[in-house]
Structure 1
Amino acid sequence: MTKARVLLIDDDDQMRSSTAQALELSGFEVEALAAGEEALALAAPSFAGAVLSDIRMPGMDGMTLLGRLHEVDAEIPVILVTGHAEVQLAVQAMRSGAYDFIEKPFVVHDLAKVLRRAIEHRGLVLENRRLRAVAGKRDDMEARLPGRTLVMVDLRYRLRAIGASDADTLIVGPTGAGKEVAARALHDMSARAGKPFVAINCAALPEALIESELFGHEAGAFPAALRPRYGKFEHARGGTVLLDEIGSMPLELQAKLLRVLHERVITRLGSNDPVPLDVRFIATSKTDLKDAVENGTFREDLYWRLNVAMLQVPPLSARREDIPLLFLHLVRESATRHKLPEREVPPAYLTALAGRDWPGNVRELRNLSERFVLGLEGTDLGDPAGTRLADRVAEFERSLISGAIAAHGGRLKPVYEMLGISRKTLYEKMQKHGIDRRLIVDRTDEIDA
């Protein structure tokens, strides 16, 4: 029988060790961690356990960790450990979505009961999600990457096709389009879902420490190396490494990465002993790496080694019909996250959104949804950008009609009334622009005209 899994986070080495030992004796599988950041690498929508965290820690405290975990999945159960004088803080934590809290000093038997209830609840949540997917309802993939346009349907199909494999994957798309979301989806669909997902921003790594950060080092490898340290590749043990914006990686390091991809071993700085590496690599790029290969800034052999499977995440401009529904989806998410009532979005506002340019893609739209929910954004967007009649009238008309259909849930009568045209004219324009309302509305049941 599989043991119930617990992520234990406490910066106090002695407390962490004694609590982990006691919980293991109570039948739990415990992953003892010193910092909240380590827990985030292990958390995923497929995580089938509970999180137990001290509330007072340097760096990322328990409250911050709670919020970050719920950004990954709002139904991951988090139990916070508090001191006697922190009951008010614990109440705040419960209001912020904590599953429960327990005061120090605690009785292990009582803690174990709370953890078992939390893990049983988590099991029911995951089973309900699985049953909904089997029943043909909206699955987790569509919740992560919503959209009814053909480019998004195709992307989700490709993600499902390669998700369960161990194939290294290259994900290409503009900034803010959702490349990391797609990468996490691949990880969560694979057999590695319960293992770490380690994201590495290749553009942000300090050049002087880049090898140590990735490969780790032994004590004395360089003047500041006072003790051995795992690199990020080793930390991903059994899981997935995301190399974000891999085109920014220096050429010298590209050669070493190629060896890692080929041999699946690493060698820490200051050591001659190879360390086996069981990870899946996913790389992202906002530009076509073929161009980087041609201008000599990216190795061709590394490009082909990474490009076992390739996914293209489209910009919002390639799926304008999705914008109204996507915005409504983001508004719901934001309202839930901020524990605010969902604000009604006027249909005309959604129509205007569909006609605007979105250079920041989904990230820019998400930021707008946050401001909208917080009441920092009005409902007057002015004229949608980029609607010059001479060269974009057809595109704008198509976006306008698609946005109105989405805003009214697929019902056509309020659409042609709002646009001031006849029913026949609306049908003719839908046929002219190839608009299929079944691909626009967020449901598959029969829609009244």
Structure 2
Amino acid sequence: MDNSADVAKKGPETNNACKRATGAGGSCKDTESKDKTDVEMTMGKHVGLTTAVSLIVGSVIGSGIFISPKGVLEDTGSVALCLIVWTGSGIIAFLGGLVYAELGMIVKKSGGEYAYIRQAFGNVLAYLYAWTSIMVIKTSSIAITSLTFAEYLTTLFEMCGQSEIPKNLIAAIALVTIALVNGYSTNLAARVQIAFTVAKVGALIVIIVGGMVKLAKGWRMELMTGFEGTTESPSTIALAFYGALFAYDGWNNLNYVTEELQNPTRNLPLANIAGILLVMVIYILTNISYYSVMTKQELLDAQAVAVLWADRVIGAAAIIIPISVMISTFGAANGSAFSTNRIVHVAARDKNLPTILSYIHYKRRTPLPSIIFTCLVALLMIIPGDIASLIDFFSFTSWLFYGLTFSSLVVLRFTIKDVQRPYKVPFPS
């Protein structure tokens, strides 16, 4: 492995290094004179538009749409307000995606929030974000989705009459598998993301189409209740947004791999807009489908909303739902790991983490040390096995830094005025 920040060679050695890098899909950059050339090893540009959209959609659609509808309804009290909260949360995520699109045009570095906070507010806050993200935000998100994957996998053992394997062990195996995929090849990780995104979207389309068929047959009584039973507590409604926003989390994942994105000027804003809008439409239609076949009370009493829907609509084929959730959560964990590795890599490259974590495998062109480190931290979080506490652990700190990142755009409007902005968020500056 070679250091991504400063690998310097001279003469014939430099030429050989460039051949090795470009031949494996990486790139070499000559930054000095003919007498002395600095060669920077990079991971190459493997992320096209299709992969970019699948990274966003695949990271967002995890366990949230299968577990959050119950909590959002409980906090809103009515079907109409529940759907408004899901729509409003999608709009918030969409506006965040617009902000991140411009930030990605100004600061053309991987690392997402880390890179933007560092540019706007300096290294101290970026350093704090890097450690908080790696030790709390991103790794807990990976642990949550891995544990959810394990919970649904164990339901298959129960259906087959087999003894249950410990959930923590299954989650750990899934996490190590994801680390191996990401460590072996960036292209392989991207293909896995695309495949799992197509599968999970396909499963949700089955739910949406099934619900539309029931609506066409007149199963719309619960939707007709409108605002009946709406809660009057603003703080409780705020909690409903909190739950829905958890289901939308991951909308910012593409900005962690900006340096690996092909044609970022076009693909970054386009993928952010298309990916988030697609998720929002899917989430709203999925919720409508839920209410087409069950009452509010049935949804609140259900242990697994999607499983109850499947029992009502597709009967014997209901086994596809836990399989779909497994696909969904595995894909989301892969997307989260893919982006988290880049935060570790970029922060280490800036000397905010041990330098060895910035190294890239010279053959695979993958950030292997950062992948191993991320996997180890997430494995430690899996040990307690408590998803609820991990969600609480994750959510507050996550949105705290999102807010700080949003404010960095305002700062950069005044501190970096001359940089070309192919896309610009429409607000006064």
> Which TM-score applies when normalising by structure 2?
0.24
Bigger share in strand: 1
Bigger share in helix: 2
Greater Rg by CA = 1
Q: Which has the higher contact order (CA 8 A, sep 6+)?
A: 2
